[in-house]
Amino acid sequence: MNKYAKKPRKAYVRLTQDEKLEVVLGVLENGRKRKEMALEKDVSLNSVNIWIRNYQLYGRDGLSSNIRTAYVAQEETQKELKRLKKIEKRYNEQLEEIEILKKFQAFLKENE
């Protein structure tokens, strides 16, 4: 065999969300090595690293197969939060203006 020939790609097992959680918690809580867990579950070390990062960022939802959906939902939530904060700020400014106008109106009545 030619030493430069491409090696066949290893086929890894596809794990469920619970199995991924088991791997992540094995590393984070039980102090097991990432490589050890990857070999034990027959998954790539890169996958284990991604699962740990996603778990730390998104919690258990970060381990689902459709993490992109969760990420997009989180982005939309952040946008909505920014929009609501702007509305709240404008609302509070208007409340302050109303209070000022009430005081001014009371002042005018006193000086009639």
pLDDT in single tens digits along all 112 residues of the chain: 566 666 666 667 788 889 999 999 999 999 999 999 999 989 999 999 999 998 888 888 888 876 665 566 677 788 899 999 999 999 999 999 999 999 999 999 998 7
The reply to whether 30 and 60 lie within a common domain is yes
Please write the tens of the pLDDT for every residue from 13-26.
Answer: 788 889 999 999 99
* CATH value at residue 49: 1.10.10
Residue 56 lies in a domain: yes
List the domain range (segments joined by +) for residue 35: 11-65
**Domain count within the chain:** 2
Which of 85, 107, 108, 105 has its CA nearest to residue 97? Answer: 105
The reply to whether 15 and 60 lie within a common domain is yes
pTM given for the model: 0.53
24, 63 contact by CB (below 8 A) = yes
Residue 4 lies in a domain: no
Residue 21 lies in a domain: yes
The reply to whether 61 and 87 lie within a common domain is no
